[in-house]
A and B are shown apart, each in its own frame.
Chain A
Amino acid sequence: MKIHPDEVSSIIKQKIDSFKFDIDIAETGKVVMVGDGIARVFGMENVMAGEMVLFPNDIYGMALNLEEDNIGCIVFGDTHYIKEGDIVRRTKKILQVPVGDAMLGRVVNALGHPIDGKGDIKTDKTFPIERKALGVIQRQPVKEPLQTGLKAIDSMIPIGRGQRELIIGDRQTGKTAIAIDTIINQKETDMYCIYVAIGQKKSSVAKIVETLKANGAMDYTIIVSASASEPAALQYLAPYAGCSIGEYFRDNGKHALVIYDDLSKHAVAYREISLLLRRPPGREAYPGDVFYLHSRLLERASKLNNELGGGSLTALPIIETQADDVTAYIPTNVISITDGQIYLSNRLFYAGIRPAINAGISVSRVGGSAQIKLMKAVTGQLRMDLAQYAELEAFAKFGSDLDKVTLHQLRRGERLREILKQPQYQPLSVAKQIFIIFMGNQGYLDEIDIHKVKDVEHELNLTLESEYQDIMKEIVGASKLNDELKDKMHAVCKKVVEKFKA
Chain B
Amino acid sequence: MRDIEVSGRYAKAFIELIAPEDHAKLLEDIRGLQELLSQYPEIIRSIDMVILSMPRKKKLAAALAEKLNFSERWESLFQLLVQKRRFSAIIMILSRMEDIILEENNQIIVKLSVAREHDSETMSKITRLLEDILKKKVEFKTRIRPELIAGFHAETSSLIIDGSVKNNLERFIKEKIPQN
Residues of A whose CB lies within 8 Å of any CB of B are 15-16, 19, 21-29, 32-33, 40, 42-45, 69-70, 87, 89
Known A29-B158, A45-B158; contact A22-B1, beta-carbon cutoff 8 A:
no
Contact assessment for B158 and A25 in the assembled complex, using a CB-CB cutoff below 8 Å: no
Give me 9 other A-B pairs in contact (C-beta within 8 A), A16-B176, A25-B133 excluded: A23-B129, A23-B161, A25-B162, A26-B159, A26-B160, A43-B158, A69-B8, A70-B1, A87-B160
Contacts of B160 on A, CB cut-off 8 Å? 24-26, 28, 87, 89
Contact assessment for B159 and A25 in the assembled complex, using a CB-CB cutoff below 8 Å: yes
Contact assessment for B4 and A23 in the assembled complex, using a CB-CB cutoff below 8 Å: no
User: What are the interface flags for B108-135 relative to A under an 8 Å C-beta threshold, 1 for contact and 0 otherwise?
Assistant: 0000000000000000000001000100
Contact assessment for A28 and B159 in the assembled complex, using a CB-CB cutoff below 8 Å: yes
Some 6 contacts from A to B, beta carbons below 8 A apart, are: A23-B161, A25-B162, A27-B158, A28-B158, A42-B4, A70-B1
Contact assessment for B158 and A21 in the assembled complex, using a CB-CB cutoff below 8 Å: no
Prevailing SS type, chain A contact patch: strand
B38 within 8 A of A: no
Contacts of A42 on B, CB cut-off 8 Å? 1, 4
Residues of B whose CB lies within 8 Å of any CB of A are 1, 4-5, 8, 129, 133, 155, 157-163, 167-168, 171-172, 175-176
Contact assessment for A22 and B4 in the assembled complex, using a CB-CB cutoff below 8 Å: no
Chain A residue, CB-CB nearest to B4 = A42
Contact assessment for B158 and A33 in the assembled complex, using a CB-CB cutoff below 8 Å: no
Contact assessment for A24 and B4 in the assembled complex, using a CB-CB cutoff below 8 Å: no
Across the A-B interface, give the 5 residue pairs with the lowest CB-CB distance, nearest first.
A23-B163, A24-B162, A32-B1, A15-B176, A26-B160
Known A19-B175, A33-B1, A40-B1; contact A25-B8, beta-carbon cutoff 8 A:
no
Cβ contact of B161, chosen from A16, A24, A29, A32, cutoff 8 A: A24
Complex CA–CA separation, A26 to B155 (angstroms): 10
Contact assessment for B176 and A19 in the assembled complex, using a CB-CB cutoff below 8 Å: yes
Contacts of A45 on B, CB cut-off 8 Å? 158
Contact assessment for A21 and B168 in the assembled complex, using a CB-CB cutoff below 8 Å: yes
Known A32-B4, A42-B4, A69-B4; contact A23-B175, beta-carbon cutoff 8 A:
no
Could you tell me the distance in whole angstroms from the C-beta of B134 to the nearest C-beta in chain A?
10
Complex CA–CA separation, A430 to B155 (angstroms): 67
Chain B residue, CB-CB nearest to A31 = B1
Contacts of B133 on A, CB cut-off 8 Å? 25
Contact assessment for A43 and B161 in the assembled complex, using a CB-CB cutoff below 8 Å: no
Contacts of A32 on B, CB cut-off 8 Å? 1, 4
Contact assessment for A24 and B1 in the assembled complex, using a CB-CB cutoff below 8 Å: no
Contact assessment for B158 and A44 in the assembled complex, using a CB-CB cutoff below 8 Å: yes
Complex CA–CA separation, A15 to B158 (angstroms): 33
Chain A residue, CB-CB nearest to B165 = A21
Complex CA–CA separation, A29 to B159 (angstroms): 8
Could you tell me the distance in whole angstroms from the C-beta of A281 to the nearest C-beta in chain B?
21
Complex CA–CA separation, A23 to B129 (angstroms): 11
Complex CA–CA separation, A19 to B176 (angstroms): 8
Contacts of B8 on A, CB cut-off 8 Å? 69
Cβ contact of A24, chosen from B5, B163, B172, cutoff 8 A: B163
Known A32-B4, A42-B1, A42-B4; contact A24-B158, beta-carbon cutoff 8 A:
no
Contacts of B4 on A, CB cut-off 8 Å? 32, 42, 69-70
Complex CA–CA separation, A22 to B158 (angstroms): 20
Contacts of B171 on A, CB cut-off 8 Å? 22, 24
Contacts of B129 on A, CB cut-off 8 Å? 23
Contacts of A27 on B, CB cut-off 8 Å? 158-159
Contact assessment for A69 and B5 in the assembled complex, using a CB-CB cutoff below 8 Å: yes
Contacts of A87 on B, CB cut-off 8 Å? 160
Complex CA–CA separation, A24 to B166 (angstroms): 12
Complex CA–CA separation, A264 to B68 (angstroms): 63
Contacts of B163 on A, CB cut-off 8 Å? 22-24
Could you tell me the distance in whole angstroms from the C-beta of B164 to the nearest C-beta in chain A?
9
Could you tell me the distance in whole angstroms from the C-beta of B179 to the nearest C-beta in chain A?
10
Complex CA–CA separation, A73 to B160 (angstroms): 20
Complex CA–CA separation, A29 to B1 (angstroms): 13
Contacts of A23 on B, CB cut-off 8 Å? 129, 161-163
Contacts of A16 on B, CB cut-off 8 Å? 176
Could you tell me the distance in whole angstroms from the C-beta of A118 to the nearest C-beta in chain B?
14
Chain B residue, CB-CB nearest to A26 = B160
Complex CA–CA separation, A435 to B167 (angstroms): 70
Contact assessment for B161 and A25 in the assembled complex, using a CB-CB cutoff below 8 Å: yes
Complex CA–CA separation, A42 to B158 (angstroms): 9
Complex CA–CA separation, A21 to B167 (angstroms): 10
Chain B residue, CB-CB nearest to A46 = B158
Complex CA–CA separation, A15 to B178 (angstroms): 12
Contacts of B172 on A, CB cut-off 8 Å? 19
Contact assessment for B159 and A22 in the assembled complex, using a CB-CB cutoff below 8 Å: no
Could you tell me the distance in whole angstroms from the C-beta of A68 to the nearest C-beta in chain B?
9
Chain B residue, CB-CB nearest to A28 = B160
Chain A residue, CB-CB nearest to B162 = A24
Could you tell me the distance in whole angstroms from the C-beta of A31 to the nearest C-beta in chain B?
10
Could you tell me the distance in whole angstroms from the C-beta of A35 to the nearest C-beta in chain B?
12
Contacts of A25 on B, CB cut-off 8 Å? 133, 159-162
Contact assessment for B157 and A43 in the assembled complex, using a CB-CB cutoff below 8 Å: yes
Chain B residue, CB-CB nearest to A25 = B161
Chain B residue, CB-CB nearest to A87 = B160
Complex CA–CA separation, A27 to B161 (angstroms): 9
Contacts of B167 on A, CB cut-off 8 Å? 24
Contacts of A44 on B, CB cut-off 8 Å? 158
Residue with the highest number of chain A CB atoms closer than 10 Å, among B1, B8, B168, B172: B1
Complex CA–CA separation, A43 to B175 (angstroms): 28
Chain A residue, CB-CB nearest to B172 = A19
Contacts of B168 on A, CB cut-off 8 Å? 21-22
Complex CA–CA separation, A29 to B158 (angstroms): 6
Complex CA–CA separation, A27 to B158 (angstroms): 6
